[in-house]
């Protein structure tokens, strides 16, 4: 708390149930496996009973827009939103956008 005086720590309920697939531990129901950008939080959802309450909990503790990303078809393989993304900033971002024609 002394190191980060302006940071609030929010406890997230644990709905994880251990499972594995081909040696990979499941990422299902790990709601904090999100991607955080300057304006958004891309939060995984799992087509389950806790999706809505977790979405509301996370949204209530941020000024960023929370975007639900369905992850139920990949989470059993050990990955989720963070594993399916790549975050870049600065000059590398500009170069990538230029190469894709999205600058």
Report the percent of the chain where pLDDT is more than 90: 65
Extract the runs of DSSP E, i.e. beta strands, from 4-99.
20-21, 24-25, 35-36, 40-45, 65-70
pLDDT digits (tens, 9 = 90+) for 7-25: 888 999 999 989 999 999 9
Split at pLDDT 50, 70, 90, the class of 74 is very high
Residue 103 has pLDDT above 80, yes or no: no
């Amino acid at each position: 708390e002394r190191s980060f005086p302006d940071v609030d720590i929010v406890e997230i309920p644990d709905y994880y149930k251990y499972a594995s697939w081909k040696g990979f531990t499941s990422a299902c129901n790990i709601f904090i496996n999100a991607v955080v950008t300057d304006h958004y939080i891309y939060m995984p959802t799992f087509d389950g009973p806790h999706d809505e309450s977790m979405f509301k909990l996370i949204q209530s503790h941020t000024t960023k827009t929370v975007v639900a990303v369905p992850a139920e078809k990949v989470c059993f393989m050990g990955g989720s939103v963070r594993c399916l993304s790549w975050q870049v900033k600065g000059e590398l971002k500009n170069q990538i956008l230029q190469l894709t024609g999205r600058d």
